[in-house]
Amino acid sequence: MLALVAGNGGLPSHLARALSVQPVFARIDGTSPEIGTELTFRLDRIASFMDALKARGVTELCFAGAVRRPRIETNEVEGRSRQYIDQIVAALEKGDNGALAILLRIFEAEGFVIRAAHELAPDLLPAPGVLTYKQPAHGDVKDAARADAVLESIGVADIGQACVVRQGQVIAIETSYGTDWMLESLDRRPDVSGGVFAKAPKPGQDRRVDLPTIGPGTATCVAEAGLGGIVIEAGGVMVLDLEETVKAADDSGIFLWVRDP
């Protein structure tokens, strides 16, 4: 039996539609998934959560959806969960990647198998190529190469998974506030346009969780920010509602390039 542990965004509902057998649905505390859930996962109650999963016959877990960095009130941690929380809090001080790795290890040590979202729904990873009518120009190709170096740097530092490059200049990087906030922060003067929005997983991250995602809304936001297109790493970025995302890009006059790393 699989449990889908859901955060915000459209990924959990996409998976729910793709699965042939209904899983156990759980909500990550502090999120509002677009699906109904029967369990809530709180870090300070992680032991009880694992007990509830086992009681329902769950042997596999898939974490899907956006989550803000949790705030842990150590005085509210249940006794049996404290041994895990101490590990997670220590890892959080070193970044989100370390904390996620510890979290997965805790579940695996209890016998759960971690399943990736794109393993359950392979259509989430589109094949390489330019999927839109508009094609990247020579300057866009150069900006994409510049973005590679930027994404590697901020990924190693565990900062974010996206950036914006225009004419070789880095004008924005994603932080813990997320992609939408980054795009909304861009200068929208009518005389300033062009550039690429690039997204890729962090180097060395566990791709079973926190793989970056885009969707139709991303295409709209990129166009509204005055950028020329989207560049995502082939095999490393999931696309929700691919047909709708391509249509949104085409309607907005931007390109969508699934680029080999």
| DSSP codes joined into one string, 70-133 | PP--GGG--GGGHHHHHHHHHHHTT-HHHHHHHHHHHHHHTTPEE--HHHH-GGGSPPSEE-SS
Interval 104-160: pLDDT, tens: 999 999 999 999 999 999 999 999 999 999 999 999 999 999 999 999 999 988 889
Q: Give the pLDDT of residue 4.
A: 95
Per-residue H/E/C for 150-197: HHHHHHHCCCCCEEEEECCEEEEECCCCCHHHHHHCCCCCCCCCCCEE
Average pLDDT over residues 213-228: 94
Most trustworthy range by pLDDT among 26-35, 71-80, 191-200, 248-257: 248-257
* CATH superfamily entry for domain 125-259: LpxI C-terminal catalytic domain (3.40.140.80)
Most trustworthy range by pLDDT among 75-79, 95-99, 139-143, 191-195: 139-143
Give the model's confidence band at 185: pLDDT under 50 very low, under 70 low, under 90 confident, else very high. confident
Q: Which amino acid is at 30?
A: G
Give the model's confidence band at 93: pLDDT under 50 very low, under 70 low, under 90 confident, else very high. low
Q: Which amino acid is at 191?
A: D
Per domain, the residue ranges of the chain are 2-120, 125-259
**pLDDT over 70, % of the chain:** 95
Q: Report the CATH fold assignment for 2-120.
A: Rossmann fold (3.40.50)
Q: Specify the 3-state DSSP secondary structure of 211.
A: coil
Average pLDDT score over the chain: 90
* pTM reported for the whole predicted model: 0.90
Cross-strand partners of 232: 199, 258
Under 8 Å CB-to-CB from 12, ≥6 apart: which residues? 4, 6, 25, 33, 34, 35, 64, 65
Sign of CA dihedral 181, 244, 214, 195: negative
| Lookup result for tokens 């929005």 | 197
Q: Give the pLDDT of residue 242.
A: 96
Interval 58-91: pLDDT, tens: 999 999 988 776 666 667 778 888 888 888 877 7
Q: Give the pLDDT of residue 94.
A: 65
pLDDT at 226 over 80: yes
Q: Specify the 3-state DSSP secondary structure of 224.
A: helix
Under 8 Å CB-to-CB from 11, ≥6 apart: which residues? 64, 65, 66, 117, 213, 238, 240
- 90 token code pair: 């220590």
Closest CA to 184 of 220, 232, 231, 144: 220
Sign of CA dihedral 103, 104, 105, 111: positive
Q: Give the pLDDT of residue 250.
A: 98
Cross-strand partners of 163: 173, 198
Give the model's confidence band at 261: pLDDT under 50 very low, under 70 low, under 90 confident, else very high. confident
